[in-house]
Amino acid sequence: MPEPQPVIAPPASATVFLVAAIGPGGLQTVRAVLENVSALRRSVAFRSPGDELTCVVSIGSQAWDRLFSGPRPRDLHPFVELTGEKHRAPSTPGDLLFHIRAGRMDLCFELARLLMEQLRHCVSVVDEVHAFRYFDERDLLGFVDGSENPEGQLAADSVFIGAEDPGFHGGSYVTIQKYLHDLTAWNLLPTDEQEKAIGRTKSDNVEFPDDIKTEDAHIAVNSVTDEDGTERKIVRENMPFGAVGQGEFGTFFIGYSRTPDVTEQMLRNMYLGTRAGLHDRILDFSTAVTGCLFYTPTADFLDDLPTAPRPAHSSKGFPEIRSLKGTA
Protein backbone atom coordinates (compact mmCIF):
# COMPACT_ATOMS: atom_id res chain seq x y z
CA MET A 1 0.00 0.00 0.00
CA PRO A 2 1.32 3.51 -0.77
CA GLU A 3 2.45 5.49 2.27
CA PRO A 4 -0.46 7.55 3.64
CA GLN A 5 -0.07 11.04 4.99
CA PRO A 6 -0.19 11.16 8.84
CA VAL A 7 -3.97 11.31 8.95
CA ILE A 8 -4.16 9.15 12.08
CA ALA A 9 -2.14 10.87 14.78
CA PRO A 10 -2.27 11.38 18.56
CA PRO A 11 -4.19 14.46 19.73
CA ALA A 12 -2.13 17.62 19.24
CA SER A 13 -1.74 20.56 21.58
CA ALA A 14 -1.75 23.11 18.74
CA THR A 15 -3.19 23.17 15.23
CA VAL A 16 -3.34 25.59 12.33
CA PHE A 17 -6.01 25.03 9.69
CA LEU A 18 -5.45 26.84 6.39
CA VAL A 19 -8.08 26.72 3.65
CA ALA A 20 -6.99 28.35 0.40
CA ALA A 21 -8.42 29.10 -3.04
CA ILE A 22 -6.10 28.91 -6.05
CA GLY A 23 -5.95 32.16 -8.02
CA PRO A 24 -5.56 32.70 -11.77
CA GLY A 25 -2.12 31.70 -12.98
CA GLY A 26 -1.21 29.99 -9.72
CA LEU A 27 -1.43 26.35 -10.72
CA GLN A 28 2.24 25.77 -11.57
CA THR A 29 3.47 27.22 -8.31
CA VAL A 30 0.86 25.30 -6.31
CA ARG A 31 2.01 22.04 -7.89
CA ALA A 32 5.61 22.84 -7.02
CA VAL A 33 4.73 23.69 -3.42
CA LEU A 34 2.70 20.49 -3.02
CA GLU A 35 5.78 18.49 -3.97
CA ASN A 36 7.83 20.50 -1.47
CA VAL A 37 5.57 20.27 1.59
CA SER A 38 7.46 17.32 3.10
CA ALA A 39 10.78 19.19 2.81
CA LEU A 40 9.32 22.30 4.39
CA ARG A 41 7.92 20.26 7.26
CA ARG A 42 11.30 18.64 7.90
CA SER A 43 13.02 22.02 7.87
CA VAL A 44 10.82 23.15 10.78
CA ALA A 45 10.38 19.84 12.62
CA PHE A 46 14.12 19.28 13.17
CA ARG A 47 14.10 22.10 15.75
CA SER A 48 11.95 20.04 18.11
CA PRO A 49 11.50 16.42 16.96
CA GLY A 50 9.59 15.44 20.09
CA ASP A 51 6.77 17.82 19.28
CA GLU A 52 5.76 15.75 16.23
CA LEU A 53 5.04 18.44 13.67
CA THR A 54 2.85 17.10 10.86
CA CYS A 55 1.13 18.62 7.86
CA VAL A 56 -1.66 16.84 6.01
CA VAL A 57 -2.48 18.31 2.59
CA SER A 58 -5.86 17.81 0.93
CA ILE A 59 -7.30 18.94 -2.41
CA GLY A 60 -10.82 20.04 -3.32
CA SER A 61 -12.98 18.80 -6.17
CA GLN A 62 -12.86 21.93 -8.33
CA ALA A 63 -9.07 22.19 -8.01
CA TRP A 64 -8.36 18.55 -8.85
CA ASP A 65 -8.88 18.68 -12.61
CA ARG A 66 -7.05 22.02 -12.81
CA LEU A 67 -3.97 20.54 -11.12
CA PHE A 68 -3.75 16.96 -12.40
CA SER A 69 -4.39 14.95 -15.54
CA GLY A 70 -5.65 11.39 -15.46
CA PRO A 71 -8.30 9.84 -13.21
CA ARG A 72 -9.75 11.52 -10.16
CA PRO A 73 -10.75 10.01 -6.80
CA ARG A 74 -14.02 8.15 -7.24
CA ASP A 75 -16.00 9.92 -4.50
CA LEU A 76 -14.54 13.43 -4.69
CA HIS A 77 -17.18 16.12 -5.13
CA PRO A 78 -18.03 19.52 -3.66
CA PHE A 79 -19.45 19.67 -0.15
CA VAL A 80 -23.21 19.12 -0.28
CA GLU A 81 -25.06 22.00 1.34
CA LEU A 82 -27.90 21.01 3.67
CA THR A 83 -30.90 23.10 4.69
CA GLY A 84 -33.11 21.71 7.41
CA GLU A 85 -36.26 23.08 9.00
CA LYS A 86 -34.22 25.21 11.43
CA HIS A 87 -30.53 24.93 10.60
CA ARG A 88 -28.26 25.08 7.55
CA ALA A 89 -24.87 23.54 6.71
CA PRO A 90 -23.36 25.87 4.09
CA SER A 91 -20.96 24.90 1.33
CA THR A 92 -18.04 27.34 1.11
CA PRO A 93 -14.98 27.77 -1.16
CA GLY A 94 -11.81 25.76 -0.67
CA ASP A 95 -9.28 24.29 -3.11
CA LEU A 96 -6.54 23.34 -0.64
CA LEU A 97 -6.51 22.36 3.03
CA PHE A 98 -3.35 22.39 5.13
CA HIS A 99 -3.91 20.63 8.48
CA ILE A 100 -0.82 21.46 10.55
CA ARG A 101 -0.38 19.89 14.01
CA ALA A 102 2.29 19.84 16.70
CA GLY A 103 2.94 19.95 20.42
CA ARG A 104 3.75 23.66 20.11
CA MET A 105 2.03 26.49 18.26
CA ASP A 106 5.29 28.13 17.18
CA LEU A 107 6.13 25.11 15.01
CA CYS A 108 2.69 25.17 13.39
CA PHE A 109 2.94 28.90 12.82
CA GLU A 110 6.39 28.68 11.25
CA LEU A 111 5.38 25.96 8.81
CA ALA A 112 2.22 27.88 7.87
CA ARG A 113 4.32 31.00 7.33
CA LEU A 114 6.76 29.19 5.04
CA LEU A 115 3.94 27.64 3.02
CA MET A 116 2.21 30.97 2.51
CA GLU A 117 5.51 32.64 1.66
CA GLN A 118 5.92 30.23 -1.27
CA LEU A 119 2.25 30.44 -2.24
CA ARG A 120 2.00 34.23 -2.01
CA HIS A 121 0.20 35.77 -5.03
CA CYS A 122 -0.92 32.26 -6.10
CA VAL A 123 -3.64 31.54 -3.55
CA SER A 124 -5.98 33.45 -1.29
CA VAL A 125 -6.55 32.19 2.23
CA VAL A 126 -10.32 31.89 2.69
CA ASP A 127 -10.12 30.60 6.26
CA GLU A 128 -7.33 30.47 8.84
CA VAL A 129 -7.90 29.03 12.30
CA HIS A 130 -5.32 28.73 15.08
CA ALA A 131 -6.68 26.10 17.45
CA PHE A 132 -5.55 24.73 20.78
CA ARG A 133 -5.94 21.84 23.18
CA TYR A 134 -8.49 22.76 25.87
CA PHE A 135 -7.85 20.98 29.17
CA ASP A 136 -8.41 17.19 28.82
CA GLU A 137 -9.40 17.19 25.12
CA ARG A 138 -12.62 19.15 25.74
CA ASP A 139 -14.43 21.51 23.41
CA LEU A 140 -15.52 24.95 24.53
CA LEU A 141 -18.93 23.54 25.42
CA GLY A 142 -17.10 21.68 28.19
CA PHE A 143 -17.41 18.11 26.87
CA VAL A 144 -14.65 15.71 25.84
CA ASP A 145 -14.49 15.60 22.04
CA GLY A 146 -13.39 12.66 19.89
CA SER A 147 -13.49 9.93 22.53
CA GLU A 148 -15.41 7.61 20.19
CA ASN A 149 -12.67 7.61 17.53
CA PRO A 150 -11.72 4.12 16.32
CA GLU A 151 -8.24 2.90 17.14
CA GLY A 152 -5.64 0.60 15.58
CA GLN A 153 -6.67 -1.42 12.55
CA LEU A 154 -10.28 -0.25 12.82
CA ALA A 155 -9.10 3.35 12.47
CA ALA A 156 -7.05 2.47 9.37
CA ASP A 157 -9.96 0.54 7.85
CA SER A 158 -12.28 3.50 8.54
CA VAL A 159 -9.99 6.13 7.03
CA PHE A 160 -7.92 4.70 4.17
CA ILE A 161 -9.31 3.87 0.73
CA GLY A 162 -8.86 0.25 -0.25
CA ALA A 163 -9.53 -1.97 -3.26
CA GLU A 164 -12.79 -0.15 -4.05
CA ASP A 165 -10.75 2.60 -5.76
CA PRO A 166 -7.36 0.99 -6.50
CA GLY A 167 -5.84 4.03 -8.20
CA PHE A 168 -6.20 5.95 -4.93
CA HIS A 169 -5.41 3.18 -2.45
CA GLY A 170 -4.21 4.68 0.84
CA GLY A 171 -5.84 8.06 0.36
CA SER A 172 -8.68 9.50 2.44
CA TYR A 173 -11.50 12.00 2.33
CA VAL A 174 -11.79 14.84 4.79
CA THR A 175 -14.78 17.01 5.65
CA ILE A 176 -14.41 20.28 7.54
CA GLN A 177 -16.89 22.67 9.15
CA LYS A 178 -16.19 25.70 11.32
CA TYR A 179 -18.77 25.96 14.10
CA LEU A 180 -19.40 29.06 16.23
CA HIS A 181 -20.98 28.49 19.65
CA ASP A 182 -23.46 30.64 21.50
CA LEU A 183 -21.80 30.10 24.87
CA THR A 184 -24.07 32.56 26.64
CA ALA A 185 -27.17 30.53 25.78
CA TRP A 186 -25.36 27.21 26.31
CA ASN A 187 -24.11 28.14 29.76
CA LEU A 188 -27.63 29.09 30.83
CA LEU A 189 -28.61 25.44 30.44
CA PRO A 190 -28.37 23.33 33.59
CA THR A 191 -25.68 20.65 33.37
CA ASP A 192 -28.21 17.85 33.08
CA GLU A 193 -29.80 19.56 30.05
CA GLN A 194 -26.39 19.99 28.44
CA GLU A 195 -25.73 16.30 29.01
CA LYS A 196 -29.04 15.37 27.36
CA ALA A 197 -28.09 17.48 24.32
CA ILE A 198 -24.75 15.69 23.96
CA GLY A 199 -25.73 12.20 25.14
CA ARG A 200 -23.00 11.72 27.73
CA THR A 201 -22.02 12.94 31.17
CA LYS A 202 -19.99 16.13 31.35
CA SER A 203 -17.59 15.49 34.19
CA ASP A 204 -16.54 11.89 33.56
CA ASN A 205 -17.41 11.51 29.84
CA VAL A 206 -19.63 8.42 30.13
CA GLU A 207 -22.11 7.80 27.31
CA PHE A 208 -25.76 7.44 28.30
CA PRO A 209 -27.41 4.04 27.79
CA ASP A 210 -29.60 3.86 24.68
CA ASP A 211 -32.80 3.71 26.74
CA ILE A 212 -31.93 7.05 28.39
CA LYS A 213 -30.38 8.84 25.42
CA THR A 214 -32.79 11.23 23.70
CA GLU A 215 -33.48 11.01 19.94
CA ASP A 216 -31.96 14.42 19.26
CA ALA A 217 -28.79 13.90 21.33
CA HIS A 218 -25.63 14.67 19.38
CA ILE A 219 -24.24 11.17 19.88
CA ALA A 220 -27.52 9.52 18.86
CA VAL A 221 -27.90 11.32 15.52
CA ASN A 222 -24.22 10.81 14.67
CA SER A 223 -24.44 7.03 14.94
CA VAL A 224 -24.48 5.54 11.41
CA THR A 225 -24.77 1.80 10.81
CA ASP A 226 -24.65 -0.55 7.82
CA GLU A 227 -27.60 -2.73 6.86
CA ASP A 228 -26.15 -5.50 9.05
CA GLY A 229 -26.00 -3.18 12.07
CA THR A 230 -22.25 -2.56 12.00
CA GLU A 231 -21.42 1.01 13.04
CA ARG A 232 -19.57 3.03 10.42
CA LYS A 233 -16.74 5.12 11.82
CA ILE A 234 -14.76 8.24 10.96
CA VAL A 235 -11.73 9.75 12.69
CA ARG A 236 -12.49 13.18 14.17
CA GLU A 237 -9.62 15.51 14.94
CA ASN A 238 -11.68 18.49 16.06
CA MET A 239 -10.06 21.42 17.84
CA PRO A 240 -11.43 24.40 19.78
CA PHE A 241 -10.58 27.98 18.87
CA GLY A 242 -11.64 31.42 19.95
CA ALA A 243 -11.10 35.16 20.10
CA VAL A 244 -12.29 36.49 23.44
CA GLY A 245 -12.18 40.14 22.36
CA GLN A 246 -14.56 39.38 19.51
CA GLY A 247 -16.73 37.05 21.55
CA GLU A 248 -15.96 34.24 19.09
CA PHE A 249 -15.90 30.70 20.48
CA GLY A 250 -15.94 27.66 18.28
CA THR A 251 -15.04 24.15 17.27
CA PHE A 252 -13.29 23.32 14.01
CA PHE A 253 -14.80 20.01 12.94
CA ILE A 254 -12.52 17.85 10.82
CA GLY A 255 -13.41 14.26 10.01
CA TYR A 256 -11.31 11.84 7.94
CA SER A 257 -13.02 8.86 6.33
CA ARG A 258 -12.59 6.14 3.74
CA THR A 259 -15.62 7.50 1.91
CA PRO A 260 -17.45 10.79 2.37
CA ASP A 261 -20.74 8.86 2.48
CA VAL A 262 -20.37 8.21 6.21
CA THR A 263 -19.81 11.83 7.20
CA GLU A 264 -22.52 13.02 4.81
CA GLN A 265 -25.03 10.65 6.41
CA MET A 266 -24.09 11.98 9.84
CA LEU A 267 -24.67 15.53 8.63
CA ARG A 268 -28.01 14.62 7.06
CA ASN A 269 -29.05 13.15 10.40
CA MET A 270 -27.93 16.31 12.20
CA TYR A 271 -29.58 18.86 9.91
CA LEU A 272 -32.45 17.04 8.23
CA GLY A 273 -33.22 14.64 11.07
CA THR A 274 -33.92 10.94 11.16
CA ARG A 275 -37.62 11.83 11.13
CA ALA A 276 -39.68 14.96 10.51
CA GLY A 277 -39.22 17.71 13.09
CA LEU A 278 -36.00 16.27 14.50
CA HIS A 279 -32.50 17.78 14.36
CA ASP A 280 -29.32 17.56 16.40
CA ARG A 281 -29.96 19.49 19.61
CA ILE A 282 -26.43 20.88 19.57
CA LEU A 283 -27.28 22.92 16.45
CA ASP A 284 -29.48 25.17 18.59
CA PHE A 285 -26.24 26.45 20.13
CA SER A 286 -23.64 25.84 17.38
CA THR A 287 -23.76 27.38 13.90
CA ALA A 288 -21.73 26.09 10.95
CA VAL A 289 -20.22 28.96 8.94
CA THR A 290 -18.07 26.88 6.54
CA GLY A 291 -18.27 23.49 4.83
CA CYS A 292 -15.77 21.80 2.51
CA LEU A 293 -14.90 18.33 1.28
CA PHE A 294 -11.39 17.38 0.15
CA TYR A 295 -9.43 14.33 -0.98
CA THR A 296 -6.28 13.58 1.03
CA PRO A 297 -3.72 11.91 -1.26
CA THR A 298 -0.93 9.63 -0.12
CA ALA A 299 2.55 10.94 0.67
CA ASP A 300 3.79 9.10 -2.44
CA PHE A 301 1.30 10.99 -4.60
CA LEU A 302 2.57 14.36 -3.32
CA ASP A 303 6.20 13.37 -3.86
CA ASP A 304 5.56 12.50 -7.50
CA LEU A 305 2.50 14.30 -8.85
CA PRO A 306 0.66 13.24 -12.01
CA THR A 307 1.36 15.42 -15.00
CA ALA A 308 -0.47 18.72 -15.25
CA PRO A 309 -3.47 18.90 -17.58
CA ARG A 310 -3.08 20.65 -20.89
CA PRO A 311 -4.59 24.12 -21.13
CA ALA A 312 -7.78 24.16 -23.19
CA HIS A 313 -6.32 26.68 -25.62
CA SER A 314 -3.13 24.77 -26.33
CA SER A 315 -1.97 21.27 -27.22
CA LYS A 316 1.48 21.84 -25.77
CA GLY A 317 0.58 21.58 -22.08
CA PHE A 318 2.16 23.59 -19.32
CA PRO A 319 5.66 24.95 -19.68
CA GLU A 320 8.34 23.40 -17.49
CA ILE A 321 7.46 23.75 -13.82
CA ARG A 322 10.10 25.08 -11.46
CA SER A 323 10.82 22.58 -8.70
CA LEU A 324 10.90 23.71 -5.09
CA LYS A 325 12.01 20.39 -3.66
CA GLY A 326 14.55 20.74 -0.92
CA THR A 327 14.03 24.45 -0.37
CA ALA A 328 12.88 25.97 2.89
Catalytic positions, written as ranges: 145
Q: In this structure, are residues 296 and 172 in contact, taking their beta carbons and an 8 Å threshold?
A: yes
Q: How many CA atoms lie within 13 A of 122 on its CB side?
A: 17
Q: Which amino acid belongs to residue 67?
A: L
Report, in angstroms and rounded to the nearest whole number, the Rg of the chain calculated over CA atoms.
20
Report the sign of the C-alpha dihedral through residues 116, 48, 235, 15, in that order. Answer: negative
Nearest one of 29, 27, 33, 99 to 63, comparing CA atoms: 27
Calpha distance 266→271 (Å, rounded): 9
Calpha distance 216→222 (Å, rounded): 10
Calpha distance 98→291 (Å, rounded): 15
Residue 308 DSSP label: P
Q: In this structure, are residues 249 and 183 in contact, taking their beta carbons and an 8 Å threshold?
A: yes
Report the sign of the C-alpha dihedral through residues 89, 236, 180, 270, in that order. Answer: positive
Q: In this structure, are residues 215 and 273 in contact, taking their beta carbons and an 8 Å threshold?
A: no
Report the sign of the C-alpha dihedral through residues 41, 44, 48, 51, in that order. Answer: negative
Cα 299 to chain centroid, rounded: 17
